[in-house]
């Protein structure tokens, strides 16, 4: 047996103690504060040795506190909201305040079966903005066109039958109305100012694309003051075209079902009525158009009061010049001094144009689909707006009223003349567009 001296035993004991302390420090049971004394955490660990009989009989484990505001920490609302950027907060605020002011519009239309019986079927659908606490809704004319019945769906799932109060075909706008139950407070979309829009400004669209109710999309104003032609067929199959002026172009996603819904600025104010998209596929490709709210504010009061917009008219039957017609006139000794303009086929006897000295044609010509007179005056502008097509004539008169006076520039032969004409009422003149 090997014998050890007392000094050797003391040295071995000291080494063992140092090794034990080093191991304890390495695995976290012993920590030292700045003064070199064991920390309170280390003392707690020593008070409940690994595998010992602590209060729970389990090992002492140090758990760091979760950061303030993190999941499971019970952080305040303001701390949770800090997760969103300022732009996101703005989008969320606009949506939460105003989405209930956007309605889902569905329609029924009458179709006739083989036995000439009228059969109701599902018609067009779209969106609309509640603009009055009494239940008035602003939407597109094409959403409610030919509707036998119109229904409005609210955010709470309730559905009401509505009636068409008035339409404005020249701006593709319509006002409908439903009767909300007594005591129900409707969310009204406030009007903004579309004249203050700038390219690059953020806009938000709320609507019901493909039946997905109250969908929010965002984008920017891509262009302003766009003239956009819109064509549609009537019951006879004839196609008419109107040019809607000053439209807002946006890249906010607009799809079928968004028509009639609001285009909002960052403050949640209505700046446009989403109307159409340019798309080779039928879906959104980032080119959408909205009627400016300035137009809506101008025509909506008349729609609510009279059901239509009273506009001025020149009492003529116009025919737009086209190349074959220009060639025909030249070959028959009545050459036109211009290649583009509106030929006055007829000037209504004792009408405003006739009284101003404007003359209609005298020689009748026929085409495959129509007949008219040539030899009359050729109008090239109305109130400074070029009139090379009937659509442009409507544009020139869109913001006029019966009784207003307009300046007409026209040619008679090679002589350029002007005349002042006091406008008649377009509807009373039998002109429906």
- Annotated catalytic residue, options 142, 251, 284, 381: 142
Count of CB atoms situated within 10 Å of the CB of 49: 12
Provide the CA 303 distance to its chain's centre, in angstroms. 21
Please list, in sequence order, all residues whose beta carbon lies within 8 angstroms of the beta carbon of residue 374, skipping any fewer than 6 positions away.
Answer: 325, 328, 329, 332, 334, 343, 345, 361, 362, 363, 365
241 secondary structure, DSSP code = E
From the list 100, 408, 125, 88, the residue with the least C-alpha distance to 266 is 88
Would the CA dihedral through 182, 183, 184, 186 be positive or negative? positive
- Tell me, what DSSP letter sits at residue 39? P
Region of residue 357 (phi > 0: left; psi between -120 and 50: alpha; otherwise: beta): left
Rounded to the nearest 10°, the torsion over CA 344, 349, 351, 352 is 60
Reading the block at residue 390, the tokens are 């009937």
Pick from 420, 384, 345, 400: nearest CA to 170: 400
DSSP string, 352-392: HHHHTT-----EEEE-SS-EEEESS-EEEEETTEE-SSHHH
Distance CA 159, CA 125 (A): 14
- Residue 172 appears among annotated catalytic residues: yes
142 is a catalytic site residue: yes
Structure tokens belonging to residue 324: 């074959």
Is 76 considered catalytic here? Answer: no
The answer to whether 151 touches 157, Cβ cutoff 8 Å, is no
Please spell the DSSP secondary structure of 254-270, one letter per residue.
--TT-TT-EEE-TTS-E
* C-alpha dihedral, 53 to 57 to 58 to 59, nearest 10°: -20
Q: Which of 125, 127, 259, 424 is catalytic?
A: 259
* Beta-sheet pairing, 385-386 with 424-425: unpaired
What are residue 228's DSSP bridge partners? Answer: 244
Output the CA torsion 369→370→375→376 (10° steps): -130
Give the distance, in angstroms, between the CA of residue 380 and the centroid of all CA atoms in the same chain.
35
123-to-2, 263, 288 alpha-carbon distances in Å: 107, 24, 23
CA 43 – CA 47 distance, rounded (Å): 6
* Catalytic-role residue among 124, 168, 172, 377: 172
DSSP-derived secondary structure letter, 48: S
Q: Which residues are catalytic?
A: 142, 172, 259
């Amino acid at each position: 047996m090997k014998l050890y001296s007392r000094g050797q035993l003391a040295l071995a004991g000291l080494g063992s103690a140092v090794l034990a302390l080093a191991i304890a420090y390495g695995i976290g049971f012993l920590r030292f504060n700045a003064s070199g004394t064991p920390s309170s955490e280390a003392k707690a660990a020593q008070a409940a040795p690994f595998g010992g009989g602590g209060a729970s009989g389990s090992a002492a484990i140090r758990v760091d506190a979760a950061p303030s505001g993190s999941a499971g920490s019970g952080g305040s609302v303001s701390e949770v909201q800090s997760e969103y950027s300022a732009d996101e907060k703005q989008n969320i605020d606009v949506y939460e305040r105003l989405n209930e002011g956007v309605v889902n519009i569905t329609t029924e239309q009458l179709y006739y079966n083989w036995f000439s019986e009228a059969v109701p079927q599902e018609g067009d659908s779209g969106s609309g903005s509640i603009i009055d606490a009494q239940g008035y809704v602003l939407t597109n004319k094409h959403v409610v066109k030919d509707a036998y019945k119109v229904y409005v769906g609210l955010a709470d799932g309730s559905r009401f039958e509505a009636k068409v109060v008035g339409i404005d075909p020249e701006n593709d706008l319509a006002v409908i109305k439903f009767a909300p139950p007594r005591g129900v407070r409707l969310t009204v979309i406030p009007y903004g100012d579309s004249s203050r829009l700038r390219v690059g400004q953020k806009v938000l669209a709320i609507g019901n694309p493909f039946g997905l109710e109250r969908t929010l999309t965002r984008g920017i104003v891509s262009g302003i003051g766009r003239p956009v032609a819109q064509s549609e067929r009537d019951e006879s199959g004839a196609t008419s075209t109107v040019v809607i002026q000053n439209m807002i172009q946006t890249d906010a996603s607009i799809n079928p079902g968004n028509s009639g819904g609001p285009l909002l600025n960052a403050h949640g104010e209505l700046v446009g009525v989403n109307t159409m998209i340019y798309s080779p596929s039928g879906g959104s490709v980032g080119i959408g158009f909205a009627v400016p709210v300035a137009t809506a504010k101008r025509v909506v009061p008349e729609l609510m009061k009279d059901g239509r917009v009273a506009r001025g008219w020149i009492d003529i039957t116009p025919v737009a010049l086209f190349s074959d017609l220009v060639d025909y006139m030249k070959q028959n000794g009545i050459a036109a001094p211009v290649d583009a303009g509106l030929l006055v086929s007829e000037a209504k006897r004792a009408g405003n144009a006739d009284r101003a000295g404007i003359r209609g044609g005298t020689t009748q010509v026929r085409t495959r689909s129509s007949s008219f007179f040539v030899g009359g005056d050729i109008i090239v502008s109305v109130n400074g707006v070029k009139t090379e097509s009937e659509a442009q004539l409507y544009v020139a008169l869109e913001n006029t009223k019966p009784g207003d006076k307009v300046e007409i520039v026209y040619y008679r032969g090679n002589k350029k003349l002007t005349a002042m004409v006091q406008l008649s009422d377009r509807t009373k003149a039998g002109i429906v567009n």
